[in-house]
Structure 1
Amino acid sequence: MKFLFVHQNYPGQFLHIVRHLVAMRRHEILFITEPNMNEIAGVRKIPYLRPALNNKETHIAARELDDGVRRAETVFKAAYGLKHLGFRPDIIIGHHGWGEMLNLRDVWPDVPMLGYMEFYYQFNAADVGFDPEFPHDPLDYPRIRAKNAINHIALNLGGAGQTPTRWQLSTYPDWARKRIDVVWEGVNLDACSPDPRAHRKPLKIGGMTIRPTDKLVTYVARDLEPYRGFHIMMRALPHLLRARQDIKVVMIGGDGVSYGSAPQQGGTWREQMLKERGAEIDLDRVVFPGRVSYETYIATLRRSDAHVYLTYPFVASWSLREALAVGCPVLGSDTEPVREFITHSDNGLLVPFLEPAAIATAVLDLLEDKALSRKLRGNARRYAEQRLAMEDYLAAYDATIGRLTGENPASAAVVAVPNLPTSFATLRRRKAA
């Protein structure tokens, strides 16, 4: 089969399915993306030049759509070039969030399309207005509503949609849900596995050494910001550190902004929260290593005695899935996306997002209760084995592709093209032949 993937940050959410298809050694896989350094052997990247975005002359409520149609125009040109060189995919798979796929129907009208539908924005539910510390101005509601313009166009392209959780599906209007399948995402259970030896040896991270006698509390986010409860976690630290001298805390994440906005005062959220709470925190026992290697990240989860995962009602992080697979005792915020993964007192604990003292108390209780810790660890891993297995995720993905194309990629015949093209020139020679 011939696959065309589209995502501005290759490979995005398609890492596992792309690797899966490559491993079959029977498919031709092209990927349209902005240029980056990521590589997967067996995949031909088709880079497009990022257009000028965030045009200040465009009304602020329409800028996301304006950016999307600019990307769509650029991706159209790349796709049209592929068509001119003789490439016709059996299916197009991509993320609808940035508008890149909006014009691909004009290139291949009859090719099945599977679009990743991540989130439907609302101004009066979910993330907006959830945290009273950051109230939203009603004058901003038109901009939030308009963020769904790409969603609406995408849903009317005639293709199919996919989303990774039932809660994310629930954010879409009733009329849209019937067009979107839930393809429950999995994790690599071998890479994300418990290690009973992790507590027997020192762990070094960010210049700090966690000894076997230390109690390690972990927190992970792509970026340290309010959407993932960073400000709440920072306010819980003084309670934790005063209560026990053997606690050490590792807070993994960058200083950028993945969701929401930067502090109005300037700087980063880490700087902001250290100004607010730094005098109450023993910084000899807290480390901010930034973004770390995957190996270091997994090693830290394996060593964790209590892993705190907080989020607004928004898209759940991969780190939640991976922490459960590793067998972490997870304390997750009692918010809708987390409740889809954690059953309180079974495979984790649910804690109130907005209450730092209650979060600290729950962590301390867990550190004291060895029987509860063992139960949560074992049940977290069993939950992952039953619900988060990568094999199940990929089989569901294969089935979805098969339903749309009439051919399951896992059973598709071997294509007659053993090697992917390495350049446009190769495609041209093949077309000429």
Structure 2
Amino acid sequence: MNFLFVHNNFPAQFRFVAEQLARHPEHRVAAIGAETAQGLPGVRLERYRFNDVGHAFVHPFARRFDREARRAEQVLYALIALESSGFVPDVIVAHSGWGETLPLRAKYPRARLIAYCEYFYRDQGGDVHFDPEFPPLGVDGLTHLRAKNASQLLALVDCDLGLSPTAWQRSTYPIEFHAKIAVAHEGVDTDLVRPDPTATLQLPNGLMLRAGAEILTFVARNLEPMRGYHVFMRALPDILRARPSAEVVIVGGDGLSYGASSPDGRSWKDVFLSEVGHRLDPRRVHFVGALPYSQYLRLLQVSRAHVYLTYPFVLSWSLIEALSAGCLVVASDTAPLREVITHGRNGLLVPFFDVRRLAHVVVEALTQPAYFLGMREAARATAQARFERRRAVAEQLAVILPPR
């Protein structure tokens, strides 16, 4: 059977399932991705080049769809290249969020098409209008927001089934599609991401961190409000005052993954660092940017308390990896987290905007590490029971494979 995965940043969410299928000699596996896509053993990768040309003459409401249509055109060329080598897919698994699914049903009407449904934009109950610190969208903004879902809706109509990683993420889609969308997380490698009481990590400034030390960690792809960076920074002065020996390691870039840029054009990192920086000890607050994966894992292993905050939005891999590493996770009491963390059992939940509560809970976590050992073990057990990669792959394959 021939399997095709389509994701601009392949392998992304498809890594484990694509690797599993590629191990079987009776299968042929191919993938289509943009220039950032990475290959996997046994998977033929066809890259396309996407040039995001100017949109001066495209209506603002249609600019995202215009970009998606241009990306779809490049996917179609990649499909033709695969077909010229004799590869015709029986099953296609494609992310629905960037327009890459647009040509798939027209090109292969008989293929089984699975649309990966990560997040559906809406004006209530999600990231938009969640944070009162930022101005609400007007009618123009709301219209633009709704238009962002256009290609996803087409994908949902075209596909045989949808696939969402969590029940909450499925719930963001229109209710009339829920029966068509299965829930199966892509999983994490819990054998690789595991506790290590002997772990050490040397920071770029030479500081050596060791498991068991008083280390507070915060991780996001980019440091921005969507992932609660502003709340964390505002809690830090009280945390550092109460715990004069604590070291704080903050992982994340200066760019923008989600949401809007700051009003003055500065990075969100700088905006909120300038707000509280005069109340912080810079010798104990370490911004390390983006870490290589092996160093990032060691950071989780040396962490005494790990803070993960998010608007109601896509659940990060880093949260599941923190659980798998046996971290004591202090997380926001928001819908994506409530699906994974039960307060007091496998982690601690705090109201997203309650800076004082966050500081208090983190100080407790740093002060009484022995008290929370059982919670760390439960966190690890949650990752193994619900997100272990072999289990996850089996659940995904139950959706992807044609019924017998």
Q: Bin the TM-score by the shorter chain.
A: over 0.9
Note if contact 2:105-2:158 (Cα within 8 Å) is conserved in structure 1: yes
Please give the alpha-carbon distance, in whole angstroms, between the structure 2 residues aligned to 1:353 and 1:389. Answer: 28
Q: Are residue 164 (structure 1) and residue 162 (structure 2) matched? A: no
Structure with higher Rg: it is 1
The CA deviation string for residues 194-244 of structure 1, in whole angstroms up to 9 with x for no partner, is: 11223xxx5312323335674100000111111000111111110111111
Distance 1:20 1:311, change over 3 A: same
Note if contact 1:367-1:373 (Cα within 8 Å) is conserved in structure 2: no
User: What does residue 431 of structure 1 align with?
Assistant: none
1:239 counterpart SS class: helix
The CA deviation string for residues 12-69 of structure 1, in whole angstroms up to 9 with x for no partner, is: 2111112222233442111111123623222211111214346132222221111111
Please give the alpha-carbon distance, in whole angstroms, between the structure 1 residues aligned to 2:337 and 2:106. Answer: 39
Distance 1:36 1:169, change over 3 A: closer
2:331 counterpart SS class: strand
The CA deviation string for residues 341-371 of structure 1, in whole angstroms up to 9 with x for no partner, is: 1000000000111122210110011222334
* Further displaced range: 132-141 or 331-340: 132-141
1:189 counterpart SS class: coil
Q: Are residue 278 (structure 1) and residue 277 (structure 2) matched? A: yes
User: What does residue 7 of structure 2 align with?
Assistant: 7
Q: Are residue 328 (structure 1) and residue 327 (structure 2) matched? A: yes
Distance 1:232 1:138, change over 3 A: same
Please give the alpha-carbon distance, in whole angstroms, between the structure 2 residues aligned to 1:357 and 1:206. Answer: 31
Note if contact 2:201-2:295 (Cα within 8 Å) is conserved in structure 1: no
Please give the alpha-carbon distance, in whole angstroms, between the structure 1 residues aligned to 2:388 and 2:155. Answer: 30
* Further displaced range: 97-106 or 132-141: 132-141
User: What does residue 417 of structure 1 align with?
Assistant: none
Matches within 5 A, 1:320-399: 320-399=319-398
User: What does residue 312 of structure 2 align with?
Assistant: 313
The aligned amino acid for 2:169 is Q
The CA deviation string for residues 81-113 of structure 1, in whole angstroms up to 9 with x for no partner, is: 433443211101110100111111121111111
The CA deviation string for residues 237-296 of structure 1, in whole angstroms up to 9 with x for no partner, is: 101111111110001111111111221111211111221111111010011111111111
User: What does residue 65 of structure 1 align with?
Assistant: 65
Matches within 5 A, 1:173-184: 173-184=174-185
Structure 1: state its 5+ residue gaps: 407-433
Q: How many residues align?
A: 402
Structure 2: state its 5+ residue gaps: none
Please give the alpha-carbon distance, in whole angstroms, between the structure 1 residues aligned to 2:212 and 2:18. Answer: 42
CA RMSD of aligned residues (A): 1.6
Please give the alpha-carbon distance, in whole angstroms, between the structure 2 residues aligned to 1:213 and 1:385. Answer: 23
The aligned amino acid for 1:43 is V
User: What does residue 421 of structure 1 align with?
Assistant: none
Q: Percent identity?
A: 43
* Further displaced range: 143-152 or 368-377: 368-377
User: What does residue 99 of structure 2 align with?
Assistant: 99
User: What does residue 42 of structure 2 align with?
Assistant: 42
Please give the alpha-carbon distance, in whole angstroms, between the structure 2 residues aligned to 1:63 and 1:106. Answer: 23
Please give the alpha-carbon distance, in whole angstroms, between the structure 2 residues aligned to 1:173 and 1:101. Answer: 19
Note if contact 2:186-2:396 (Cα within 8 Å) is conserved in structure 1: no
The aligned amino acid for 1:186 is G
The aligned amino acid for 1:340 is E
Q: Are residue 302 (structure 1) and residue 332 (structure 2) matched? A: no
Please give the alpha-carbon distance, in whole angstroms, between the structure 2 residues aligned to 1:117 and 1:8. Answer: 15
Distance 1:281 1:94, change over 3 A: same
Note if contact 1:186-1:393 (Cα within 8 Å) is conserved in structure 2: yes
1:24 counterpart SS class: coil
Please give the alpha-carbon distance, in whole angstroms, between the structure 2 residues aligned to 1:149 and 1:70. Answer: 14
Note if contact 1:332-1:350 (Cα within 8 Å) is conserved in structure 2: yes
1:113 counterpart SS class: strand
